[in-house]
A and B are shown apart, each in its own frame.
Chain A
Amino acid sequence: MNELMIIIFAPLLAGVLAWLLDIKGVREGLGVIGAALPLAYLIQAYQTLGTQSSIQYSILLAGFKFEFLLYQINWIFAMIAGVVGFAAVLGMVSTARDSYEWLFALMSLTGVYGVFLADDLASFFIFWEIMTFGSFMMVLKYNRKASLKYFLLSVFGAYAMLIAIGIIYAKVGALDFATIQQAFYQDAMRGTFGADTLFSRNDMLLVFGLFLVAFGVKAGMFPLHVWAPDAYSETNQSYTAMFSGVLSKAGVYGMLVIYILLGTRLVYQFGRIGAAPKFGYIIALLGGLTIIVGGLLAALQEDIRKLFAYSSISQIGYILVGIGVGTALSIEAAIYHAISHALFKGLFFLIVATIVLRTGKTEFKDMGGLAEKMPITFAMAFVAILSLAGIPPLVGFASKWLLFEAVIHENMPILGGMIFFGSAIGFVYLIRFTYAVWFGQRPTELDDTKDAPLPLAIAMGILALLNVVFGIAPGLVAKELNKIFGKEVIGGTIYELNLGFGRYNGLFITIWLVVGIVIAAIIYFLGAKVRKVPVTDTYQAGNPVTMEYNLTIRRNFFLPLKETLAFWLRMSFDRLYQDIGNWVEDLAETLRHYVYNGNVQAYAWYLAIILLILALWGV
């Protein structure tokens, strides 16, 4: 048995066993082993990748040759899946309700590994479907409507991909990545020398469009993002750590696959804008819109899970911008942000899982003042907030910084403005989360809330630690990313990123931040002692207050923003899809009504008409 097979199938096997045995305690153990095993093998594979460039495995099954390949890029993506998947599974030990969830959660993990390691389009597609199915079943258990929305859009995307694969197979006659890449490369060469090309301009447009839809759906790209807020929120929140942290990266990885397979041919056909390929610019622009739309909608949510779902969409936008710009640096920056997004968003959803587990509430209006009751979770949330908001020295800043520099350096002012806006909006919705959940008055029913259970605390600890370590030493990740292109795209040492036109040093920032805080603390401690006062002992225009007054603004926190954006908020893609859905249902109803009308004579007429057509055709 090859180690690649163990990496891919260990979670599924563990899931099936957990489902069959269904003994409390055993299924949790199996699940954790199922997630830990691939991670262990991936870490081991790091050594092997250092000596040889790739690990390969292929099986013949049902007439297809399924090929798997582990090399630098997909090792990085698989590691994201490994670490965040492991943390999410640890979280599920506390939050999963039955063996059903273990089966499908681990099944989707197998799907993701398969997608990342696949080296031919057939296995890519099959694992893509396994991944979609597993996550669909996870959502189905909690909310039927949300799951169907997710499923419909996913199926739409998956079959768009299938058509694209069909077109490629029809022209090239092979499914494995190497041959396809070669074929497109040669086609581009033929075009350059003026010979006839295998794929016409329209073929390329179609294939690119279909792939864009397929991967855009999974990544949550605007305007295909509408499934994400519902699906991310209506499921086990520990699982969402994986759902948003890893499964959405499959879409991102797909965008990279477009580059790997079709890149040269697409650039030849459509040319470039500045340094960016034109097709990439489309991805980048959609990514920019994704940042803005996701961010603004996140700020206006009243449900903690929805807020992070939109935030997740918004952050994926950054990654798409980076991939779209398409220089070596921006792609490395995008992958870096994919890593950091997985780390902090996984952490966030585990925090949400803890809150939901311990309080049973999800809306901001029911919460407040939890920081005192859940100090460990709050400390983790603090790290996650700093990381997502892009506060140095955490990993969120390092990756955003790289992305900013990579995009702006290519002279793309519009994209630059978009990502700047995205960083501010990230700040805005996070503070809203912080204020409503952790601070202020605590509703009396939350008075006996306990802190996170141990497995969740460990899972959060792992992710928080990585957020800090990669932030202080951003070079650790950069070094691995440089191996993708085989040259030093991001220079510097472990602590320093050096791009030539900009430098960032995580260690110095940490040191000077500590120095600054020490100076501030000295001033603070030189002053007189402080006296602790309760929340209700506060300034309320000079009036006395008691616990009966609600002093914390929990509802509609950003009402002025909503009013400012009223015009834009009237447009909703969610409603558009809803209307299209209703329209299709009406159409089906109409067809049923008129075509299958129960009149025997009508059916006789259909027969006559068909015979007439055949006669006219000359049969």
Chain B
Amino acid sequence: MLETVLKAFLILLYATFVGFMFMGIIRIVTARIHRRVGPPIYQPILDTIKLLSKKSNITHGLIYDFGIIYALGATILALMFIPLGSISILRAYGDLILITFLLEIPMLGIMFAAMSSGNPWAGLGAQRALLTLLAIQVPLGFAIVALAEFYGTFSTYQIVMAQQSMGWSITHLPLLLAAIAYDIVLQAMFGKEPFDIMIAPGEISLGPMVEFGGKHMGILQIQHAIALFAETLFFSNIFLGGAVITAFASPILNTIASLAVLLIKQIAVLMIAIFIGAIFPRFTIDQAARFYWKWPTIIAATGAILAAL
């Protein structure tokens, strides 16, 4: 019991820290692409501390507060089910479909909070977010179907184990197609250009985030950091082989090595998203829907059908 609590706490701490580092990396890499120096890597942490320590906060009612808390709570929940190397709290229940759903539900909380503020920009942002969700769901669904059909199991951990013997998922053609589609979907899940339609800075004043300030925004920053970590981790687990290192004699060394390998994979996933995000301008929402229902869907559906044969 105590061990579980400790483990969960450490995972949470690690995920939050690495997530913030990822946010820092995004800012630095984007800056370097633009030939700027950029902020230090720990800048998002400073930002969050500043936001959390604001003296005056506003609220628009109970749901406004609860939505934010729910969003962070649900993100933490999602994190607990994704296998993190050999350490994980609930990896036996880390079911593909469950995790796919769990990665989406924090949005429900953000949406609830944003909409209860009654701000028209927030409403607009919610609309765009929902249509993006609808658009990405088709290729995402096919990618998950391809994975489940290829491996015959829904357990993420078992998929990681299977990749230890069969090679990474992306070395198999059906799953390579699924991975490509999923990676295009990730761009929207991270909220990076060209699919940052939901937040759209400069266009709709940050959309759902427009009314949040102070500690609400701070909590959302933490949520974003953990979500970034969880999403990259999930992708690395199902397509890039995860990491189960058993080369060392000491279990602690093994764990550290697994985490390091995973971290490299996660950063690789993140880098692709940054590189694409830095050079593409934003789509409009109907363009995004048409795009996702065309190319990624065709690619992922081909993968799913090939995996079923």
Task: Report A's interface with B, CB cutoff 8 A.
Answer: 369, 371-372, 386, 389-392, 397, 401, 404-405, 408-409, 411-414, 416-417, 419-421, 423-425, 427-428, 431-432, 434-435, 438-441, 501-505, 508-509, 512-521, 523-524, 526-533, 535, 537-541, 551-553, 557-558, 560-561, 563-564
* 13 A-B residue pairs with CB within 8 Å: A405-B95, A414-B301, A416-B145, A435-B123, A439-B118, A504-B95, A512-B90, A514-B73, A520-B73, A524-B215, A527-B218, A528-B54, A539-B205
Residues of B within 8 A of A411 (CB): 149, 308
CB-contacts of B53-101 with A (<8 A): 53-61, 63, 65, 68-77, 80, 89-90, 92-93, 95-98, 101
Judging by beta carbons under 8 Å apart, are A503 and B108 in contact? no
Q: Which of B140, B153, B205, B307 contacts A413 (CB under 8 A)?
A: B307
Which residues of chain A are within 8 angstroms of B144 by Cβ–Cβ distance? 408, 416, 420
Q: Cβ of A425: which chain B residues have Cβ within 8 Å of it?
A: 134
Q: Is the CB of A439 within 8 A of B98?
A: no
In the complex, chain B residues whose CB is within 8 Å of the CB of A423: 101, 137
Asked whether, in the complex, the Cβ of A427 is within 8 Å of the Cβ of B72, the reply is: no
8 A Cβ contacts from B152-168 to A: 152-155
Chain B positions within 8 Å of A, measured between CB atoms, are 8, 12, 52-61, 63, 65, 68-77, 80, 89-90, 92-93, 95-98, 101-102, 104-105, 108, 111-112, 115-121, 123-124, 126-127, 130-131, 133-134, 137-138, 140-142, 144-146, 148-149, 152-155, 205, 210-211, 214-215, 218-219, 222, 284-286, 289-290, 301, 304-305, 307-308
Given known A371-B63, A413-B145, contact A428–B133 (CB-CB < 8 A): yes
Q: Which B residues are in CB contact (< 8 Å) with A508?
A: 90, 93
Check A539–B211 contact: CB distance below 8 A: yes
Interchain nearest-CB distance for B157 vs A (Å): 11
Q: Which residues of A contact B153 (CB under 8 A)?
A: 501-502
Contact of B118 among A440, A513, A519 (CB under 8 A): A440
Nearest CB in chain B to that of A503: its residue: B93
Residue from the list B57, B69, B75, B145 in contact with A408, Cβ < 8 A: B145
What residues of chain B lie closer than 8 Å to A520, measured between beta carbons? 68-73, 76, 219
Partner of A519, one of B72, B108, B134, B215: B72
Contact between B8 and A503, CB atoms less than 8 A apart: no
In Å, the complex CA distance between A28 and B93 comes to 48
B90 to chain A, nearest CB (A): 6
Contacts of A540 in B (CB 8 A): 119-120
B120 and A502 contact, CB distance less than 8 A = no
Neighbouring B residues of A516 by C-beta, 8 Å: 72-77, 80
14 extra A-B contacts, CB within 8 A, seeds A524-B68, A551-B118, A558-B131: A401-B95, A413-B304, A414-B301, A428-B130, A432-B130, A508-B93, A513-B74, A523-B218, A523-B222, A531-B58, A532-B59, A537-B58, A557-B127, A564-B290
| With A416-B142, A516-B72, A532-B61: A424-B137 Cβ-Cβ less than 8 Å | yes
Check A404 against B77 for contact (C-beta < 8 Å).
no
Q: Is the CB of B141 within 8 A of A420?
A: yes
User: Taking CB as reference atom, which chain A residue is nearest B89?
Assistant: A512
User: Known interface pairs A504-B93, A524-B69, A561-B134. Does A420 touch B140 (Cβ–Cβ under 8 Å)?
Assistant: yes
CB pair B118–A552 under 8 Å, yes or no, is yes
**Residue from the set B95, B96, B304 with the largest chain A CB neighbour count within 10 Å:** B95
Q: Which residues of B contact A372 (CB under 8 A)?
A: 61
Could you say which of A372, A391, A512 has the most chain B C-beta atoms within 10 Å of its C-beta?
A512
Q: Output the nearest chain B residue to A418 by Cβ-Cβ distance.
A: B141
- CB-CB under 8 A from A440, the residues of chain B are 115-116, 118, 123
Q: Is the CB of B116 within 8 A of A371?
A: yes
Whether the pair B119, A439 counts as a contact (CB closer than 8 A) is: no
> Which of B97, B126, B142, B155 is in CB contact (< 8 Å) with A435?
B126
For B149, give its contact among A369, A408, A421, A427 (CB under 8 Å): A408
A564 near B286: Cβ-Cβ < 8 Å: yes
Most chain B CB neighbours (cut-off 10 Å) among A420, A440, A516, A551: A516
A166 and B1 alpha carbons, distance in the complex (Å): 65
Chain A residues, Cβ within 8 Å of B290: 564
CB distance from B80 to the nearest CB of A (A): 5
Q: Which residues in A have their C-beta under 8 angstroms from that of B89?
A: 512
Residues of A within 8 A of B210 (CB): 539
A532 to B305 alpha-carbon distance, docked (Å): 54
